[in-house]
Every structure is written in structure tokens, then in C-alpha cells.
Amino acid sequence: MTTPTASSKYFDFRNALTNNRIAGIWRMMSDFRLPYAAATAALAISAAAKTCTYLLLGYFADKVLTQQIYVAGTLNKTLALIGAGFIAFAAIEGSFSYLSGRLAAFTAEGITRRLRDFLFDHIQRLSFSYHSQTPTGDLIERVTSDVDTLRRFFSEQAIGMGRVIILFAINWAAILTLNTRLGLLSVVVIPLILVVSLWFFGKLTKRYEDYQAQEAILSTTLQENLTGVRVVKAFARQGYEMSKFEKDNWGKFLKGRRLLIMQSLFWPLSDVVLGFQMLFGFVLAATMAIRGEITVGDYLVYVGLVVWLIWPIRNLGRLIVQTSTGLVSYGRLMEIVKQTRESLTEGRVRPDGPVRGDLIFDHVSFMYEDGKVDALKDISFHVKPGQSIALLGSTGSGKTSLVNLLPRFHEYTGGHILLDGEELKDYSREYLRRQIGIVQQEPFLFSRSIRENIMYGIGRQVTMDEVERAAKAAAIHDVILTFPDGYETLVGEKGVTLSGGQKQRVTIARTLLKNPRILILDDSTSSVDTETEAEIRAALNELMEDRTTFIIAHRIQSVMGADVILVLDKGQVVQMGTHDQLVAHENGIYRQIYEIQTRIDEALENEVASVN
């Protein structure tokens, strides 16, 4: 099922890794550079058409209205022609602006789609240790909001800056052609407005963050109040809560006002600066027109164009500030992208059939990447195909670390593990994981139907009949039938909530379907009540039939039947043998544990006897 072609389904963003963020963004755009260039070109054509509209207006005023030159013969025909010209220019401007918008959207959404696909796949192929060290919330934050910031960079900021610059260039060129002095004097304040708007939007961003922070405080207060409603009511603290909320609520109002003052100052202030620049240009142009240095038509052209020259500049500051956040997001995403994946396919040994399940641990040791002490030290034992081996020990004794080595979730750092005589590291992870089934202590189910959860990851077509047989063997079939939609019932928020024991039996059914040669049972029935414990045990026994089985256990009861028992402490094997052998060993830990558990049973009997 697993094919190496998976990575060809999307663009590999590891190619976009570079220290130069601009260059990185350029690389991200591969395949989309042409549409994006076309979008920019269309934008330029559209802007030129707009400029032409005003040029036509000037022509109309000078040639037709003032000099009464009729190109089409009569006035009416000329007017019709010019009217049609206006419509034609508008049509060109409109179609190309549409084309530009569409191409830019195509680029932005296209890059975003493949970025999402890549990140999703990349993350699920990163190693166990990466996932252990990275909080889910942080990853989610990056793959959602940072991706969206980048999307906006492509769809709004990059193209928006292009638009401002093109509008400026084309219209300025047109005005300069009209009259150089006029052109130069029309842009005097532009550097000023650019600097001011940069400063302003930087400031505004900060105030906005303040406002958002206050909103977060308000939400926390609200959330705590609503989830703690019983405490609030029990202490009759409604009044106190109201005044606490009032403080945060009013705080948000004040922060909002601070933000607002900044916002409401910028527009009118820049209006004044730009307005006077325009007025200055108008007076200058009008004077020149009166003196005959330019025609009335030229004046009209100038008045029309200067609007498109000056006003868009005001937005440039905002766009630049936003772009910088886009670059930050690029950096945050690349931190994920640069993590190395674990290879699923590499491995020298590729048997055709399933493994037999003969495992030899030969002085195996293991240390976590960030660890200081060995999590496992000098572990040696031998399990034959179909045998069961129990690992007994307290939390942190290394039981889980040991079984995590088998599917190569982690790599052992010393010694050898031989599976059917071959070094475990020489098998591909893909092959190993197909051979190994895991039933976890706290099973994870996906929010989809129970049927899909049982079929999850089986990797072949499974009939409903098979699913039901597995469920029956796992003693969960009858429970499933009591749910409103049977096997189609959704698990989780929108469907049923399963108890710990029920979840465990669903995963047992899944593992039965998978039919692995090696089985890992993280046996914890402590949270399950007595009746289900028996059912789960029966289901597990069914599962263990002819498979090499590792059982992680906390209680003697669960390990007694195992072929080999390893007692682990601080990453080392302190005792090994069958139940009978270990019990016979007077000073061993196993014997001690066994005795305590016997003593507990005696104490209980005594207590019950004493009340009789």
C-alpha cells in the first residue's frame, strides 16, 4: 500500500529551505511564477487602460469640444466613437483587472494548498522524538495561522504592492510626458507620506496586539467563570464575578479606544497632507493652463491621473508592515519543514512473507536524544515465535521504551536486536510496522465511525463481515449494536463517548483485523471495572494465539501466564524467568511483589471476616 511515490503528490517544500527569506519565498513559487508574472502583466495593462480613459477624456475636451475637430466626420459620429472608446477602455481595464485578480488568487490558493498538503504529510512522517518534544498546540498554530499569513502575502500584499507601484509608475510617466515640471512637483510629499505611514502602521500593529491580548484575558475570565459555574454558585459569588468581568470588559473598551484614536487620526491626517499636495498640483496645472502652457484637456488628464498617483501610496505603508509578518511566518513554517523525516522504506532486509517472530535482544541499550542517562541498559533475552513475554516494572522503568524499539519508533543506541536472525535496523520501518500490532493503554480513536476505526490502517479491502467477526472476537460487537447507528455511529464529540474499556476493545478488534505476527499489549485494566476486565482478558487471549506477544504489565495477575517474565527497574532487567521460577527466588523483587499481593488478599478477607 505504501508507495514511495507519495511525495510526488505535492511540491516538496524542503526545496524552498534557504537562509534568505525572500529567496525562500521565490522558491516556494516554483510552477506558479508564470501565472504570477501574468497577473502582474495583466495588472499593468489594466492600469494602462485606466490611464488611457483619462487621455481620451483630454482628447475629447481639446480636439472635439475646444477645437471642434471631428475624426469621424460629424460631431455626433465622433461623440459616438468616443463614447464607445470609453466603454472599450473600461472593458479592457475590467477584463485585465479580473484576469490579474484571478491569476493572483490561483497562485495564492494553489501555493497554499500544496503547502498544507506538504505540511500534513511531513508532520506525520517526522520521528517519535520530534512529536514527543513538540506541543500539539504550537504545531497547529503554525500550520493554520502562519499558513494563512503566507496565503495573504501572496493574494493581497505581494500583488497589492505590485498594484501600487505599477499605478504609480504608469501614471507618473503619463504626467511627466504631459509636463515634466508638473510631474516632479506632484510627488513632493510622497517620501514623507511613505515614512509616516510605515511608522504609523508599525505602531498600529502594536496597539492591535494589545487589544487582542486584552481580548484573550477577557476570554480566559469568561471561560473560567463558565466552567467554574458550580463554584461561583456554591460560594454565591455572582456579584464578585460580575465586577471581575466588568474590569476586563472595560479594559477591552479602553484598549479599543486607544486603538481607535490611532486609526481615526491616520486617515484624516494623511488626507490633509495628500489633499494639499493635490490642491497644489491643481493650482499649478490650472495656472499653466491659463498661461497656455498646457491645454484644458491636459489639465483634465492631469486631474484624473494624479488621484491614482497619490492615494494608493498611502496603502503602501500598510502593505510593507504586513509583508514583514508574512516573512516571519515563512520562517516559522520552515522550522517545521527543515526537520528530517524518518524513512519508511529504506532497509536491506525485505522478506516476501511475514516474520516468524523470533527476537533476540543482545546487550541492547537506548538513550533518548535529549537524555542524560540510558533509558535502557544492557538488555538481553530471547523470545521464540509464538511465545509471550511480560515486562513488569514501575512507571519509568523502561517497559515502554523497550517495546517502542520494535517498530523502530526509536532506534536503539547500543547492542543488537535480531529479528529472525537479521538486525532489526536492516528491516524497513514500513515492513516492521506491518508485522507488529499494538494495543495501547489509553487507546486513541479517530472521530469517524466505529467501522472506520476498526478498519483504520488495515491497508486492504475489508468486508463488513470481517469487521463484525473481529468485533465479536474482541467482545465489542454487542455493545456496538446498542448504539443508535450501530457500526456507523461516530466516535467522539458528535457521536457516542466510549468508555476506556470499550475503546480498548475497538482497538483489539482493529489489531485482530490487521493480523500481525508480533503483538504489543500495553495492559492496563486498572481503570476498567471488574466485568469488563474479564471480557477484555478473553479478547486479549484470543488475540495472543500464535503470535509473539509483549505484555506491559503492572500487576502479577496479568503476567503469570507469560512464557518469560522480565522484571525491569531503572532501564535494567533485574529478574527474568517464568512465574514459578521467579516466585521460587526468595529474595527477588518478583517474590516480594507477589507476597504483598497475597497479603492484600488476606487483609481483605480478614476485614470482611471481622464484620461478620
Chosen residue from 264, 343, 345, 541 binding another protein by CB under 8 A: 264
- State which of positions 357-396 bind another protein (CB under 8 A): 368, 371, 375, 393-396
Q: Tell me 391's DSSP state.
A: E
Q: Site size for another protein, by CB under 8 A?
A: 163
Chosen residue from 188, 231, 464, 584 binding another protein by CB under 8 A: 231
Stretch that binds another protein, among 27-35, 196-204, 236-244, 474-482 (CB under 8 A): 236-244
- State which of positions 566-585 bind another protein (CB under 8 A): 570
Chosen residue from 21, 116, 384, 416 binding another protein by CB under 8 A: 116
- Cα–Cα distances (Å) from 115 to 119, 328, 335, in that order, read 6, 16, 14
Interaction between residue 22 and another protein (CB under 8 A): no
The nearest distance, CB 561 to another protein, in angstroms, is 19
Chosen residue from 18, 67, 212, 287 binding another protein by CB under 8 A: 287
- State which of positions 162-201 bind another protein (CB under 8 A): none
Query: Whole-angstrom Cα distance, residue 474 to residue 507?
Result: 9
Strands 564-569 and 388-392: parallel
Interaction between residue 397 and another protein (CB under 8 A): yes
Report the residue number, 22 or 65, with the smaller CB distance to another protein: 65
- State which of positions 294-313 bind another protein (CB under 8 A): 296, 299-300, 303-304
Instruction: Kindly write out the interface string for residues 476-515 of this chain, putting x where it contacts another protein by CB under 8 A and - elsewhere.
Output: -----------------x----------------x---x-
Query: Whole-angstrom Cα distance, residue 90 to residue 84?
Result: 10
Stretch that binds another protein, among 314-322, 324-332, 427-435, 469-477 (CB under 8 A): 427-435
Determine the distance from the C-alpha atom of residue 63 to the mean position of all C-alpha atoms in its chain, rounded to a whole number. Answer: 62
The nearest distance, CB 480 to another protein, in angstroms, is 19
Q: Tell me 63's DSSP state.
A: I
Interaction between residue 3 and another protein (CB under 8 A): yes
Chosen residue from 69, 253, 338, 380 binding another protein by CB under 8 A: 253
The nearest distance, CB 242 to another protein, in angstroms, is 5
- State which of positions 406-425 bind another protein (CB under 8 A): 407, 409-410
> Whats the size of the chain, residue-wise?
612
Interaction between residue 159 and another protein (CB under 8 A): no
Which residues, listed in sequence order, are joined to residue 126 by a DSSP beta bridge? 341
Cβ contact 354:433 at 8 Å: no
Dihedral-angle region of residue 359 (phi above 0 means left; psi in -120 to 50 means alpha; beta otherwise): beta
Interaction between residue 530 and another protein (CB under 8 A): yes
Chosen residue from 38, 41, 106, 561 binding another protein by CB under 8 A: 106
Burial call 202-219: b when 16+ CB within 10 Å, e when fewer: eebeebeeebeebeeebe
Interaction between residue 117 and another protein (CB under 8 A): yes
Report the residue number, 94 or 382, with the smaller CB distance to another protein: 94
Which spans in 291-357 are helix H? 296-310, 313-337
Query: Whole-angstrom Cα distance, residue 422 to residue 336?
Result: 34
- Name the amino acid, one letter, at 263: Q
Q: Tell me 312's DSSP state.
A: T
Interaction between residue 69 and another protein (CB under 8 A): no
Chosen residue from 191, 202, 228, 331 binding another protein by CB under 8 A: 228
The nearest distance, CB 352 to another protein, in angstroms, is 18
Residue 611: φ, ψ to 5°: -85, -15
Query: Whole-angstrom Cα distance, residue 573 to residue 554?
Result: 15
Terminal C-alpha separation, the chain = 64
Please report how many Cα atoms fall inside a 13 Å half-sphere around the Cα of residue 342, on the Cβ side: 18
Report the residue number, 410 or 477, with the smaller CB distance to another protein: 410
At residue 29, the 3 state secondary structure works out as coil
Chosen residue from 22, 37, 71, 120 binding another protein by CB under 8 A: 120
Chosen residue from 169, 351, 596, 598 binding another protein by CB under 8 A: 596
Please report how many Cα atoms fall inside a 13 Å half-sphere around the Cα of residue 52, on the Cβ side: 16
Report the residue number, 211 or 384, with the smaller CB distance to another protein: 211
Report the residue number, 209 or 601, with the smaller CB distance to another protein: 601
Query: Whole-angstrom Cα distance, residue 450 to residue 502?
Result: 11
Interaction between residue 275 and another protein (CB under 8 A): yes
Interaction between residue 144 and another protein (CB under 8 A): yes
Which residues, listed in sequence order, are joined to residue 85 by a DSSP beta bridge? none
Interaction between residue 354 and another protein (CB under 8 A): no
- Cα–Cα distances (Å) from 331 to 24, 25, 120, 142, 295, in that order, read 9, 10, 17, 10, 54
Chosen residue from 456, 483, 496, 578 binding another protein by CB under 8 A: 456
- Cα–Cα distances (Å) from 320 to 68, 163, 202, 317, in that order, read 48, 13, 10, 5
Cβ contact 332:143 at 8 Å: no
Report the residue number, 195 or 260, with the smaller CB distance to another protein: 260
Chosen residue from 23, 192, 222, 534 binding another protein by CB under 8 A: 222
